[in-house]
Structure 1
Amino acid sequence: MNRPIQTTLAIAPMMDWTDRHCRFFHRQLTRRALLYTEMVVADAVIHGARERLLGFDDAEHPVALQLGGSDPRKLAEAAAIGEAFGYDEINLNVGCPSDRVQSGTFGACLMKTPVLVAQCVAAMKAAVNIPVTAKCRIGVDDQDPEPALDTLADGVLAAGADALWVHARKAWLEGLSPKENRDIPPLDYPRVYRLKARKPNEFIGINGGIQSLEEASAHLAYVDGAMLGRAAYHTPGILTGVDAAFYGEPSVAFDYAALIEAMSGYAARHIEKGGRLGHVTRHMVGLFHGLPGARRYRQILSTDANKPGAGPEVLKAAFAAIDFAAEVEAA
C-alpha cells in the first residue's frame, strides 16, 4: 500500500462545489486535510480541455483527483494524466447516484459490478505510482449491504487499492433524486465499522452526515479516516481546527485577516486571467457562520461579488462587516 494506515481527515469530493477555487480556500483553513476534486469523467480527461478540468494551485497539496468511468483502459489513461498533472492520489467514484453518472454506467451503479470495479482499480494501479483509492456506498437499491459491501471491498482491495472510503448510506438509483440520496437513505455507520474489523490492515475511511470535528474524531475509534462533506462546505470555519485536532499541531488563534489577504490576492489573479470574483467568493459565504456581522458578510458576497467588474475590495468590505470584538466579549 502506498498510503500508511493513519488518522486522516479529508474533504469529500462534491459536484459543483469542490472546484479549484473551493480547494484553494479550504487549504487556507487547514494545511493537512486531504482535499478531493469534483468527479471528472475519464473521457473528458482524455479528450477535453485538460488545464481547465485538472489545473490546480500548488498550494492545494495534498490533493486527490476523483475520476468517473467504467472502462479500465480509459481510467488507466486518465489516471496517468492526473499523475502527470501532479495529483497526490487518484480516486475512483463508485458512489455518485446522479442521473448523468448512471447514464454513463459508472458511479454508484458500479456497486452492482464489483468484478469490473476491481478491474478498473487494477488498471489504474498499473498505470501510476501514486495511491489509487475508491469511494463507494454500502450498497444500491435492493442490495443487502452486508454481502454487497464486503464483495466490493474484497475485490477492490485485492486489486491493490490503497484505501476505501465508504459513504455509510445506500444509494437508491430508482425513486430518489441525487439530493434525496444524500439525506433519505439512513446512515449505517456500524456497517462501515464491521468492514474495518474484517480488514484491520487496510485503510477504511468513513463519510456521510458527519457534522463536526467532534463527530469525525469519534469515528476514528473504529475506522482509519473521516471525510467531511457538506459541513465543510456550509460551515468552513470548522476546518480551522483540523490541524490541531487530527495532526497534533499547536492550537493557535486563526488569523482571519491573513486569510482574507490570501484570498484577495488569489481572486485578483483569477480576475486577471478573465475570471470573476464570484467564482471564488461563492465558496466563502458560510465562513463566519454564527459570528456577529455574518449576515451582512453573506449579503455582500452574494450580491456585490457577482456584479460586473467586482474586485477583491468587495471581499475586504465583506470581511469588515464581521465584529470579532463582539464575539470576544460574548465569550
Structure 2
Amino acid sequence: MTLPVPTAADRYAASLRLSVAPMMDWTDRHCRVFHRLLAPGARLYTEMVHANAVIHGDRERLLGYDGSEHPLALQLGGSDPELLAQAARIAQDWGYDEVNLNCGCPSDRVQAGRFGACLMREPTLVAECVAAMVAAVDIPVTVKCRLGVDDDNSYENFLNFVDQSANAGSAMFIVHARNAWLKGLSPKENREVPPLRYEWAHQLKADRPHLPIVLNGGLATVEACQAQLPALDGVMLGRAAYHDPYVLHQLEAAQTGAPLQPREALLRAMRPYIEAQLERGLALKHITRHLLGLFHGQPGGRAFRQVLSEGAHRPGADWSLIEQALEITRAQAERVAA
C-alpha cells in the first residue's frame, strides 16, 4: 500500500500543532537550532524585528538562520502597510516560511512606535497591513494578538479584530489569551497578571471553524497543552520552552509518538553546530545561555547551570566545558539514585 505524500498544506498544518513563541533576547538563531533538535516538527519564530530594521539594518545579523530551523517564521513589528510589505518580501527572499505580525507586545517602546498590542485598538489598520503583506508575498501572513487592551473585555471587539484581519488574508491567528495592559504593568507582569481566558480562543474557533487558531499564554506542561488540542489547531509554548526546554521535547513526543531522547543525547546532538560556531569566532556563552534549563528540576541541574554560567564567558571556552558540566551532572544524579 502506498501512503499519500504530505502536501505543503499538510506540513504547514502539522507544524502548527506545536510552536515556540517569539521572545525578545531569547529566540535567536542559536536558541532556535537547539529547539529544533528538541522538537523536529515544531514551528519556530524569530524574535520580533521591526520592518524598518529589516529594510535598513544588517540583514545577516537580523535575519540569518541555520537551514535546520525550518519551518521558520519571521515576526515583524510595525504599522506602516508599505514598509511591512517591503519587509515581508525581504523575508520571503531570505527563505522564511511565514511572516507574522506582532499585535501583542505591550512594552512602552513598542507603544511609542505605534505597533504591538496597541494595534488591537486599530483593527482596520491591522487589516490594511495584512492585506499589503499578503499582496507582496506567496508565503503565509499571520497575526499574533491578545484578546484586547486594558479594560476592553468585549468578545465582539476581539472577534471584529480577527474578522477584519482574516478578510484581509491572514492565514492563521496565534491568540495570547490575555488582555494587554498598556499602562501600569511591565511586559513581565503583562504575561502573568491579566487573567487567562482560554474560553475566548475556544469560542473563536467555534465561531470561525475555518480559521487556524493557535493558543498561547500560560501553557507550561505537556498535560496543559494536550488538553487544548482537541478544540484548537495548535499550542505555542513561551517561557516554558526556554526555562524548561525538555518540556518542548516531551510535548513533541506526545504529539508524534516519537521516542523520548535522554537530555544528554539531545545536548550532544548540538556539538557539531557549537563547534562550527566556535570555529567562526563565536563565544561559547552566546550558545550556552540557551542550554541552561535543559536539566531543570533534575538532580545535578543546578551544577549544570553553574558550570556553564561561570565558564562559558572565559576566553577559549569550548565543548570541553559542556562535557565537564555533563560529568558533574551525571555524578550528582548517580549519588541521588544511590
Give the structure-1-normalised TM-score: 0.94
- 1:65 counterpart residue number: 74
Q: Which residue of 1 aligns with 2:64?
A: 55
1:262-296 deviations in whole A, cap 9, x for unaligned?
A: 32322222222232101000011010112221111
1:292 has 2:299 as partner: yes
Q: Is the 8 A contact 1:5 1:202 kept in 2?
A: no
1:163 partner letter: M
* Change over 3 Å in CA distance of 1:273–1:164 after alignment to 2: same
| Matched letter for residue 57 of structure 1 | D
Structure 1 pair 310–324 and aligned structure 2 pair: CA distance change class (3 A): closer
Q: Shift of the alpha carbon at 1:100?
A: 1.3
Note if 1:204 corresponds to 2:221: no
The Cα of 1:214 is off from its aligned counterpart by 1.3
Query: Which of 309, 312, 320 is 1:305 aligned to?
Result: 312
| Matching of residue 154 in structure 1 with residue 167 in structure 2 | no
Summarize the alignment of residues 19-58 of structure 1 with structure 2, pairs less than 5 Å apart.
19-58=28-67
Structure 2: runs of 5+ lacking an equivalent: 1-7
In 2, are the aligned partners of 1:93 and 1:134 still within 8 Å (CA)?
Answer: yes
1:314 aligns with 2:334: no
Name the SS for the 1:308 alignment partner. coil
Amino acid of the residue matched to residue 303 of structure 2?
A: R
Tell me how far apart the structure 2 counterparts of residues 81 and 122 of structure 1 sit (CA, whole Å): 16
1:4-153 to 2 correspondence within 5 Å?
8-153=17-162
Provide, for residues 213-237 of structure 1, a one-character-per-residue CA deviation record: whole Å limited to 9, x for no partner. Answer: 2111111122111110011110001
Counterparts of 2:171 and 2:271, CA distance in 1 = 37
Shift of residue 28 of structure 1?
A: 0.9
Q: Please identify, of 209-218 and 1-10, the stretch whose mean Cα deviation from structure 2 is larger.
A: 1-10
AA partner of residue 215 (structure 1): A
Deviation of 1:145 (Å) = 3.5
Q: Are 2:249 and 1:240 aligned?
A: yes
What are structure 1's unaligned runs of at least 5 residues? none
Partner of 2:180: 171
Q: Distance in 2 between matches of 1:328 and 1:29?
A: 27
RMSD: 2.0
Deviates more, 1:234-243 or 1:154-163: 234-243
Residue 211 of structure 1: how far off its partner (Å): 0.9
Give, in angstroms, the shift of residue 164 of structure 1.
0.4
Q: Give 1:141 deviation, angstroms.
A: 1.3
Map of 1:269 onto structure 2:
276
How many angstroms does 1:86 deviate by? 1.0
**Cα deviation digits, residues 236-257 of structure 1 (max 9, x gap):** 01122233322x343x240544
Q: 1:130 to 1:279 in 2, by over 3 A?
A: same
Query: What letter matches 2:81 in structure 1?
Result: P
- The answer to whether the 8 Å contact 1:33/1:242 transfers is no
Q: Which of 278, 284, 293 is the matching residue for 2:285? A: 278
Aligned residues with identical type, % of pairs? 54
Determine the C-alpha separation between the residues in 2 that align with 1:134 and 1:328: 49
Judge conservation of contact 1:134–1:164 (CA < 8 Å) in 2.
yes
Matching residue's letter, 2:320: E
Partner of 2:5: none
Give the total of aligned pairs.
329
Q: Which residue of 2 aligns with 1:323?
A: 330
Farther off after superposition, 75-84 or 257-266: 257-266
* In structure 1, C-alpha distance between the alignment counterparts of 2:304 and 2:333, rounded to whole Å: 15
Q: 1:142 Cα deviation (Å)?
A: 2.5
Match of 1:191 in 2: 200
Distance 1:302 1:160, change over 3 A: same
Structure with bigger RCO (C-alpha 8 Å, 6+ apart): 1
